[in-house]
Amino acid sequence: MFKNLNVALYVSGSIAAYKSLTLARNLIKKGANVRVIMTDSAQLFVTPLAFQTLTKNKVFTNISEEPDEKEITHINIAKWADVSLIAPATANFIAKIANGNADDAASTTLLATNGKKIVVPAMNDNMWNNPATIRNINTLKNDGITIFSPTKGYLAEGYSGNGRMIEPELIIKKLENKLSNSNLLKGRRLIVTAGGTREAIDPVRYISNKSSGKMGYAIADAAIDAGADVTLISAPSKLSANNKTKLISVNSAADMEKAVRNNFNKSDILIMAAAVSDYRPLIYSNQKIKKNDDNLILNLSKTNDILKEITKTKSNQFVVGFAAETQNLIENAKNKLKHKNLDMLVANDVTGNNTGFNSDNNKVYFIDHTGIISETDIESKKNISKKLIKLISERIDK
């Protein structure tokens, strides 16, 4: 996997910079080609000579130095790199990346890079938990940059906290997983729906549900990481979509159905993770309904079953549905799988306190026509999304 992989290793000014020497050495042992780019502050902790000795490549430290008049060094490295690994990444350097700053060799080279970027933070726990850092990390994620989050451990300040850079061995393992998944759906066109639709009662009120969209957005991210061309059809959500997705914003079930139909024939995979309203008000009031009587009766009509209708038109598309249930989970899920002509279904019980709607975690069952494929423990929706993408990749076109 690492054989002849070109890795640009960015080192910023943290005491954890000494770990990057081991990281560079381990990458080289696995067959990677490594070039190192250092910030000025990083050189206060580790010398460029140490990295040059290990990598057998000159370390890039100064944007004004151009040893070869035929090349522009930072552009050359940016084009050369298959993976750009920022380890350690300080709070300051993360802020630079998030805001597109380019005032030194490292930030300028990274800004010119279009390939895979992986940030490995290292900082004090207070800095890691600061709202500014949280905003910057979220910006990087939305830009499609992978974060290998820090761990809890002994910090330079002399106490244990969550901000310690993960060890080089774990970075290598995570990078292996990242690279192994990067081609699972390469070239595939995938639609994922997310969020809870809104059915208008009048200009200020609507019927909806508790869906936050977290599952659908996590699936979109996982599909992008797997190389897919992703269209995200989202009901209103507070979440920010990955910049690599084609985002289509909708409100009602009818809006979502139209968007799905418009894109379905051009897709290879459809994952309906949205919580689509089953009913809508029969009559929409153009004016705000006044509070006159003690009771207000709303007449509701069924919305179209998007999944059931769309699968009637499918050719070779692989279609995945979701079943959020409060009782008889597996039985109801298997019935939905059959009656809606799905290839796979993800089922979860939404009555749990730590799973389901609005939670960052879930516990699901993956089901196809053979029965339960597997079930997860309570784990992050991000991890569940990766498992779903892997299962799809193993079954599509088979």
Residues with catalytic function:
209
* Cα 102 from Cα 332, distance rounded (Å): 55
Contact residues for 369 (Cβ-Cβ < 8 A; gap 6+): 337, 338
Q: Hunting for tokens 């035929």 — which residue is that?
A: 70
Burial of 287 (0-12, 13-18, 19+ CB in 10 A): exposed
Answer yes or no: are the C-beta atoms of 86 and 19 closer than 8 Å: no
* Cα 119 from Cα 102, distance rounded (Å): 17
Contact residues for 386 (Cβ-Cβ < 8 A; gap 6+): 181, 222, 225
Phi, psi of 328 (to 5 degrees): 45, 50
* Cα 148 from Cα 335, distance rounded (Å): 40
Using left for φ > 0, alpha for ψ between -120 and 50, and beta otherwise, residue 175 falls in alpha
Tokens in use for 61? Answer: 């430290």
